């Protein structure tokens, strides 16, 4: 099973993804975009769609360009769960400087997300694989309440919810199998500087697997109280825009797991590498531009380059 094989293997029920759908304004040392397609659910759904059919849940306003809906639909992404309502689409604007490891938020306008109540189409409720992308944890819980018999549930979050909705977030953690979090957030929520200790505390809050994203420094997957896997990030000479890299990582990971349906240690390692692959491509252009023109063959090629990058002895 690889990105080029999608459509050949056994089709699973697909991957349900809920999260923000946004129009982002982003400035980096390389350039800028205004009200471009973005949002955690969009980045992760498009990344996941390289591996698995996706069902997206979210909300947009009347200002959301039809071409974006068409693009998602063209990618094996079921958009019946994407409500279009009166008002303006969620808007985030931010900038990056220096090593671009951290975004400076300039403005966040919740807009239509303020009154959003996710309502899952009936056939979504039986989804076997669920990814709660970054969004208000209260909404993540509302989605979880509608899910009937999932095999695997994962979530992501951000510092804002740790600061402002910690109780709800802790409740989410108690109900998921996999947690994606960046290193700063893992330290923030646990109060542990040491990442191994932080991951241990996080696993005690619920998730069997904790995957810590470290940006240019790769990712660590923790299971059974020990690090089970350390992945490098793919080295890029030029980063255009890191927005959505973490979402693309989680989307690639979950898409691969959803389509293979296998939770073995070896398969989860491959999923991490596919996640790193999607994250690295995402950074090479603004908004969804790179994922939009990327081919499954390029995905598989970069996955294989990871072997050359990290293997010693056998490779």
- Residues forming contacts to its own copies in the complex (CB under 8 A) are 98-99, 193-197, 214, 216-218, 220, 226-232, 235-239, 266, 269-270, 272-273, 306-315
Q: Cα angle at 47 between 41 and 50, to 5 degrees? A: 135
Query: How far apart are alpha carbons 67 and 147 in whole angstroms?
Result: 30
Task: Write down the least CB distance from residue 249 to its own copies, Å.
Answer: 15
Task: Write down the least CB distance from residue 286 to its own copies, Å.
Answer: 17
- Closer to its own copies by CB, 148 or 312: give it: 312
Q: Which residues contact 233 (CB under 8 A, 6 or more apart)?
A: 214, 215, 216, 217, 218, 219, 276, 279, 280
Q: What are phi and psi of 84, to 5 degrees?
A: -110, 115
- Closer to its own copies by CB, 8 or 311: give it: 311
Task: Write down the least CB distance from residue 315 to its own copies, Å.
Answer: 8
Task: Write down the least CB distance from residue 223 to its own copies, Å.
Answer: 12
- Closer to its own copies by CB, 136 or 241: give it: 241
List, edge to edge, every strand of the sheet that includes 31-38. 31-38, 22-28, 90-96, 103-109
Query: How far apart are alpha carbons 181 and 179 in whole angstroms?
Result: 6
Task: Write down the least CB distance from residue 98 to its own copies, Å.
Answer: 6
- Closer to its own copies by CB, 41 or 271: give it: 271
- The helix (run of H) or strand (run of E) holding residue 79 is strand 77-84
Task: Write down the least CB distance from residue 213 to its own copies, Å.
Answer: 13
List, edge to edge, every strand of the sheet that includes 219-223. 77-84, 54-60, 15-18, 129-132, 152-155, 178-182, 209-213, 219-223, 226-231
**Virtual torsion, Cα 262, 56, 9, 50, nearest 10 deg:** -100
Query: How far apart are alpha carbons 156 and 253 in whole angstroms?
Result: 12
- Closer to its own copies by CB, 106 or 310: give it: 310
Task: Write down the least CB distance from residue 146 to its own copies, Å.
Answer: 34
**Closest by alpha carbon to 54, among 1, 128, 118, 151?**
128
- Closer to its own copies by CB, 126 or 232: give it: 232
- Closer to its own copies by CB, 167 or 237: give it: 237
Task: Write down the least CB distance from residue 188 to its own copies, Å.
Answer: 13
Query: How far apart are alpha carbons 266 and 269 in whole angstroms?
Result: 5
Query: How far apart are alpha carbons 288 and 283 in whole angstroms?
Result: 9
Q: Cα angle at 68 between 63 and 69, to 5 degrees? A: 90
- Closer to its own copies by CB, 112 or 279: give it: 279
3-state secondary structure of 76: coil
């Amino acid at each position: 099973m690889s990105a080029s094989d999608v459509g050949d293997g056994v089709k699973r029920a697909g991957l349900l993804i809920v999260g923000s759908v946004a129009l982002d304004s982003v400035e980096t040392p390389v350039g800028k975009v205004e009200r471009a397609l973005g949002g955690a659910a969009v980045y992760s759904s498009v990344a996941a769609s390289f591996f698995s059919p996706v069902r997206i849940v979210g909300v947009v306003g009347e200002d959301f360009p039809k071409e974006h809906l068409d693009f998602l639909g063209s990618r094996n992404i079921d958009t019946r769960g994407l409500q279009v309502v009166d008002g303006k689409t969620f808007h985030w604007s931010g900038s990056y400087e220096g090593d671009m490891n951290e975004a400076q938020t300039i403005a966040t306008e919740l807009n239509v997300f303020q009154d959003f109540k996710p309502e899952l189409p009936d056939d979504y409720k039986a989804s076997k694989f669920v990814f709660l992308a970054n969004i208000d944890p209260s909404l993540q819980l509302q989605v979880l309440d509608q899910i009937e018999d999932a095999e695997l549930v994962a979530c992501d979050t951000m510092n804002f919810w740790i600061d402002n909705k910690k109780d709800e977030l802790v409740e989410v953690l108690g109900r998921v199998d996999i947690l994606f979090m960046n290193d700063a957030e893992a330290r923030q929520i646990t109060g542990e500087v040491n990442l191994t200790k932080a991951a241990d505390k996080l696993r005690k809050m619920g998730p069997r697997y904790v995957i810590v994203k470290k940006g240019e420094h790769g990712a660590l997957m923790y299971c059974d109280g020990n690090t089970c896997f350390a992945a490098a990030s793919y080295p890029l000479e030029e980063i255009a825009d890191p927005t959505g890299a973490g979402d693309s990582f989680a989307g690639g990971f979950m898409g691969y797991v959803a389509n293979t349906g296998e939770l073995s240690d070896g398969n989860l390692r491959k999923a991490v590498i596919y996640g790193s692959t999607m994250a690295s491509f995402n950074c090479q252009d603004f908004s969804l531009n790179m994922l939009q023109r990327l081919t499954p063959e390029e995905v598989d090629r970069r996955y294989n380059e990871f072997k050359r990058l990290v293997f010693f002895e056998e490779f």
